[in-house]
Structure formats: structure tokens, C-alpha cells
Amino acid sequence: MSKRALITGITGQDGSYLAEHLLAQGYQVWGLIRGQANPRKSRVSRLVSELSFVDGDLMDQSSLCSAVDKVQPDEIYNLGAISFVPMSWQQPELVTEINGMGVLRMLEAIRMVSGLNGSRSDGGGQIRFYQASSSEMFGKVAETPQRETTIFRPRSPYGVAKTYGHFITRNYRESFGMYAVSGMLFNHESPRRGAEFVTRKISLAVARIKLGYQDKLSLGNLDAVRDWGFAGDYVRAMHLMLQQDEPGDYVIGTGEMHSVRDAVRIAFEHVGLNWEDYVSIDPSLVRPAEVEILCADAERARTQLGWEPSVDFPELMRMMVDSDLRQASREREYGDLLLAASW
């Protein structure tokens, strides 16, 4: 009998890749949807015939209990979150409610549906829970590279909320014997990344500049350094974490650092342009408290999970630019057809 997985945030970048991966593994996949008018449901539109959906809201405890009880999943992947870090300074309460308290509500839903009432369980036959933790928890880093034992110094309301979600997941594991793990994922991108994120902002701009739709690209801190990988690789790690005999937390990343400047250079070079002719600095885009350097030590994931990334950073940026070139070209062709029809 095939396993059942419930994914919160199924219409996001990671949720769509994870749904594809689990379907390929023979899972029955359910997505938690807050209402049917989700603007990003198109991300999984090609999978709709293979997916099931259940109503639920990370801000509503009773809806989560109902969803878990209805689906009766073997595994829950909590990817639902407000994932754009700068937004957390603009709406810190909302981000904390979803990214922090939403984790607690989902853990409580599992506890109540599973009948865990204060005594530790042996974990047999339990719902297994994955929490999407973040490299932003490391913040003003205490050491480089960062590993599972590195202390957290978050530098944004987003990072603080994710840190709460991480610790409450560990607490439920230790308090109730729940099979609950956290993946401390470093930055992971793809052509499905939202346009507000810097890598996608770059790839979109490069495509539009190459095709003559845009003149300039405004960015903030070009010297910020990140460990960027491919989202399709990282969802494999999520799944592997829930297949282990014992629950544990893992850092997931490539171990390679690149600056925003590197991302810009690679993207513009891919289309034969000099980035310095098109990029300008906008101080308003610099974060109030910047995280300067993030780099993963994923040795534990490599040795215990057998996980390795398959896409390097230059390949990732070129993949994103090519995708956006195709998209922008289709939009131009559609615009030309509309113009022709108007005549």
C-alpha cells in the first residue's frame, strides 16, 4: 500500500518539486490549500490529476486537526511559510504567526490526531514530520561553515520565527517521542522561484534586458555571500530525512559560497552582456540587518543520508536565465498575436 504524504506550501517552489519527487516514489500526495483561489496553484497545475487537496490554514488550529485526521498521512512536510525575508521587517507579526506559531499548530494537530497525551511514545507507526528550517537562523554567524551544532544568531524577524519553529520541533520530538525533524536548508533556487528573490530577480532582468524589454537592474548589497543550490536537489534531502530509523536534524547546502555579484556576472555573461553596463545599486534594497556570509557544512547529510547536490551554482543561474528567456519570448509572441488581432 502506497504511503501518504501531506505537504503544506505545495504551491511554492519547494512544494511543487517535492510533490513531483514523491509522486515518482509512488506516494499518494495531498496538498494543504487555504481556499481554492490560491494564486500560485498554477505551479502544480500539471500535477493536479495526480494530487489531492485538503483545506487548511497554518493560522487555524482546528482546520489543521481536521486536515490531518482526514488525510491520515504517513509523512507531513511543513513547507508553508512566508519565505521572503525582507517582508519580515514589514509584517513581523504575520510572519511570526505563520513561520513560528504555524509550526506549533501543525505539531499539535499531529499530537492530537495521534493520541499523544504527554508520555513519550516509541515512535512506531507514527506520523513523521518534516519542518523547513532555514540557514537564516545562523544569522550573524558564529563560525564558517555552519553545521548542525553552530549556534543561532538570527538577524531578521524571519530568522527568529524560523528558530522558534526549529526548537519547538525538537521539543516535541524530545517531549512526546514524536518523529519530527528539521532540515536547515541553505538558499535554494530554481526557475520556479518567486520574482522577489534576488536570483530570480537577476535572471528575469537579464532575459528582459537581452530581449530589449528592460534597461537596468537595481540591486542592494552585491557583496552578500550565500551558499546557493538547486531546489530540486534539496527536496530529495527532505524525503531522505524521513526515511531514517532515528529522527535528526540536518544542514543541507553545497558548501560553496558565491556573492550576489557572482550571480549577476554569470547571468549576464550567459547572454553575452557585460553586467557593469546594466546594474545599479539602490541603497533602499539593503536589509536593515544584513546576513553577510552563509556557507553549509553538509557532511552529516552526505554520510548519513547519502545526499549530494547534482547542480552547481553556475549551472543553476544559466538554467534560470534560459527559462526566463523562454518565458519572455512567449510573452512577446503572445503580445504580437494580440496586436495583430487588434488590427
CA distance linking residue 1 with residue 316, whole number of Å: 37
Report which DSSP code applies to 223.
Answer: T
**Residue 192: pLDDT band with limits 50, 70, 90:** very high
**Residue 34: pLDDT band with limits 50, 70, 90:** confident
Q: Tens digits of per-residue pLDDT, 90-109?
A: 899 999 999 999 999 999 99
pLDDT at 36 over 90: no
**Residue 6: pLDDT band with limits 50, 70, 90:** very high
Span 205-229, average pLDDT: 94
Active site residue 163: yes
In angstroms, the Cα distances linking 127 to 98, 106, 130, 169 are: 21, 12, 10, 13
| Residue-level pLDDT at 284 | 83
| Residue-level pLDDT at 38 | 55
Which domains, and CATH codes, for the chain? 4-190+228-252 (3.40.50.720), 198-225+257-291+312-338 (3.90.25.10)
Residues 6+ apart with CB under 8 A from 204: 195, 324, 328
Residue pair 208/158 in contact (Cβ under 8 Å)? The answer is no
Q: Is the dihedral of CA 310, 315, 316, 319 positive or negative?
A: negative
| Residue-level pLDDT at 143 | 94
Span 238-266, average pLDDT: 97
Give the helix/strand (H/E) hosting 279.
strand 279-281
Ramachandran region, residue 230 (left: φ > 0; alpha: ψ -120 to 50; beta: rest): beta
Considering the candidates 163, 169, 199, 254, report the single residue annotated as catalytic.
Answer: 163
For the packed helices 313-342 and 198-210, what is the interaxial angle rounded to 10 degrees? 50
Q: Tens digits of per-residue pLDDT, 263-284?
A: 999 999 999 999 999 999 988 8
CA distance linking residue 321 with residue 160, whole number of Å: 32
Span 110-128, average pLDDT: 76
CA distance linking residue 8 with residue 80, whole number of Å: 5
242 exposed, middle or buried (CB, 10 Å; 0-12, 13-18, 19+)? buried
User: Shortest CA distance to 6 belongs to which of 68, 59, 49, 65?
Assistant: 68
| Residue-level pLDDT at 41 | 57
Ramachandran region, residue 121 (left: φ > 0; alpha: ψ -120 to 50; beta: rest): beta
Span 128-139, average pLDDT: 96
pLDDT at 254 over 90: yes
Q: Tens digits of per-residue pLDDT, 202-215?
A: 999 999 999 999 99
Span 20-37, average pLDDT: 90
% residues pLDDT > 70 (the chain): 89
**Residue 48: pLDDT band with limits 50, 70, 90:** confident
